[in-house]
Amino acid sequence: MHPHLLGRVDYLPTYQAMQTFTAKRGAHTADELWLCEHPPVFTQGLAGQASHLLAPGAIAVVQTNRGGQVTYHGPGQVVAYPLINLQRAGYYVKEYVFRIEEAVLRTLAHVGVTGHRVAGSPGIYVRLSDPFSHAALSGPQPADDPFRGLGKIAALGIKVSRHCTLHGVALNVAMDLEPYQRINPCGHAGLQSIDLSTIGVHIPWDEAAQVLGNKLSTFLAP
């Protein structure tokens, strides 16, 4: 599964293309991995609550068939769409999510950043006070504020149709983060979204996309 770098493409045609690819694929269709960035857009999950969209302004809102709540895509973000036949790959959805997160963790490690999982909240987070510390999060996060001291650097939203995956993961590289203040990211009020450039890591989009694509190819292999 070789990563296809699509560059900057509009969200809606890309969403439609992955639906068409998935609808037409057969048992022997090769898996694909698309990497791109999108012009500013908010995307809403199937069960997404309108109340989490606080003030979209001029940024378009697109309803999608993925899981999860509202998220933001914009320039300076690497969006990865693995289109995989899970039945053929030989693992289930929970394992699939774990493998995607592992690929993001290894991508961050490539630039010296330690990412973290938060139980029950798919995606990857960094410790805002010290994103380069290798220490694990000490014990479970407080129940009243599971994101205390953390910033979300990668959001994950997927859909599985006839054992085949759609949508994927978005890694924040060097963005204008203001639009995140117009939503409750992934349905969590006050959750801070962060990118690599804000924590002092400057990596070209192409390089970040290449690293993430290679890690995903490795970790999603059967």
pLDDT tens digits for range 3-55: 999 999 999 999 999 999 999 999 999 999 999 999 999 999 998 999 999 99
pLDDT exceeds 90 at position 140: no
pLDDT tens per residue across span 120-131: 899 999 999 999
Number of domains observed in the structure of the chain: 1
* Chain center to CA of 214: 15
Q: Is a pLDDT exceeding 70 seen at residue 139?
A: no
Angle between helices 93-110 and 205-219 (to 10 degrees): 140
Residue 133 lies in a domain: no
Identify whether 136 is part of a domain: no
Cβ atoms within 10 A of the Cβ of 37, count? 21
Mean pLDDT, range 99-124, rounded to an integer:
96
Report if residue 66 sits inside a domain.
Answer: yes
Residues 6+ apart with CB under 8 A from 178: none
Query: Is there a domain that residue 193 lies in?
Result: yes
Print the domain residue range for 206: 3-22+31-128+150-219
pTM, two decimal places: 0.95
CATH assignment at residue 196: 3.30.930.10
16 inside domain: yes
For the annotated catalytic residues, the residue numbers are 186
Strand 164-172 with 77-83, pairing: antiparallel
pLDDT for res 144? 72
Flag whether 145 is in a domain. Answer: no
> Would you say 95 and 221 are in contact if contact means Cβ atoms under 8 Å apart?
no
